[in-house]
Structure 1
């Protein structure tokens, strides 16, 4: 079974919640941004990552706005579930933007990166490392037309969904507007995003996730 949850921010107590403790071998837990366990490096952090990687289920994540991207890029890219990913430790992987994965009977499309809620609109250059490059995104968009996916996971929601929630949506940010184009091109099952620290179904297809582990039916 595939489960979706939101920002963990390096807090291991999230893995001790009841709905996550019951996960078994063959299950997959996907964190929709701000994973936060790859942050400072060092032996203490490495031991914690190994602890997560040794769990019997697989833990996957897309990065959010609050990550150490320099450290993440040091991990090797590998083939995983039909796409490319970074293996962090054992059963722990970072999903890469624009990659599609086959997880059991479900297909999953990943979009990492995003802007912090307190980002200054005037000085977006501070956050460039947290956002996928436009050239990279355009290449992904070109091959998505008509593609069927059961699930999209992201940190940012499409702009139309953020604006619907009225949660500091920024119409001058290209990433949210880009994700609007993605949803129009896909034959979409469901879309999960973690940015807003909410457990809330916004529409039948779009859901904000945070502390709960929501199964993909």
Structure 2
């Protein structure tokens, strides 16, 4: 069995009645299906996992939630979003897994690296994480050079800014190597897969949604090219914080957990 869901944004819910938080999303009341699952069943998070976020190393809350997930009956998989600590994420051990490569966070908590076609439960799944942050209209600040400004804006909730390599990483957008790898992986599968999983929508999907906060970028255009050249049954993405069916083949997810096979 394969289930998928959208952004979780860290271990715990944020705010009153928030749908965020791994502990909230995957407790037995909200996800009772887990009672009949094994480690050969999978839950895939469509980016902004948020449980690898602390600057230098694993915080106690991160350790607790990652151990908690590892103890679950199922295997947790995730693609990256834009809100991940990429310095730490990309330093976890890599291993071959189901025809692709993953970062091994725990024995049964795995990061699906960008640009591979994984064979999971007899389904070919192309995974490509990443997205542009849109909550940065006041800029990306340097932790040393902009320290005075950071202190002044810290409690000014009208300011939308992030701090380089503390709350923002340039690797939220893919490298050329990752994009080339994705195209080569699809080519090896004759541009024909069962599912495509991304955090960011494609450019045409952003246009359909009509949200001016979200713009075309190198990744949305890349995904648009894949949409136009690849045969797929369904495409699932996150990032937009909505549950919405875009077309018969494309679905955006947030807090909903759905089975796809």
**Do they fold alike, i.e. is TM over 0.5?**
yes
**Is 2:52 aligned against 1:38?**
yes
Aligned to 1:72: 89
Distance 2:28 2:133 in 1: 26
Deviates more, 1:201-210 or 1:112-121: 112-121
Higher strand share: 1
Map 1:47-66 onto structure 2 (within 5 A). 47-66=64-83
Distance 1:195 1:44 in 2: 23
Post-superposition CA distance 1:73-93 (Å, at most 9, x none): 221001111210011112110
Aligned to 1:140: 182
How many residues matched?
Answer: 216
- Cα pair 1:54 1:90 within 8 Å, conserved: no
Q: 2:215 aligns with which of 170, 173, 177?
A: 170
Map 1:115-154 onto structure 2 (within 5 A). 115-120=132-137, 128-145=170-187, 146-154=190-198
Change in CA separation of 1:167 and 1:65 when aligned onto 2, cut-off 3 Å: same
- Cα pair 2:116 2:185 within 8 Å, conserved: no
Change in CA separation of 1:180 and 1:72 when aligned onto 2, cut-off 3 Å: same
Distance 2:125 2:83 in 1: 23
Give the structure-2-normalised TM-score: 0.76
Map 1:1-217 onto structure 2 (within 5 A). 1-10=1-10, 11=21, 12-16=23-27, 18=29, 20-23=31-34, 24-25=37-38, 26-40=40-54, 41-120=58-137, 128-145=170-187, 146-168=190-212, 169-171=214-216, 173-217=217-261
Post-superposition CA distance 1:22-52 (Å, at most 9, x none): 2211321110010001111134422321111
Structure showing greater Rg:
2
**Secondary structure of the equivalent of 2:133?**
coil
Give the structure-1-normalised TM-score: 0.91
Change in CA separation of 1:72 and 1:143 when aligned onto 2, cut-off 3 Å: closer
Q: CA deviation at 1:19?
A: 5.1
Distance 1:135 1:120 in 2: 28
Q: Flag structure 2 segments of 5+ consecutive residues without an equivalent.
A: 11-20, 141-163
Q: Flag structure 1 segments of 5+ consecutive residues without an equivalent.
A: none
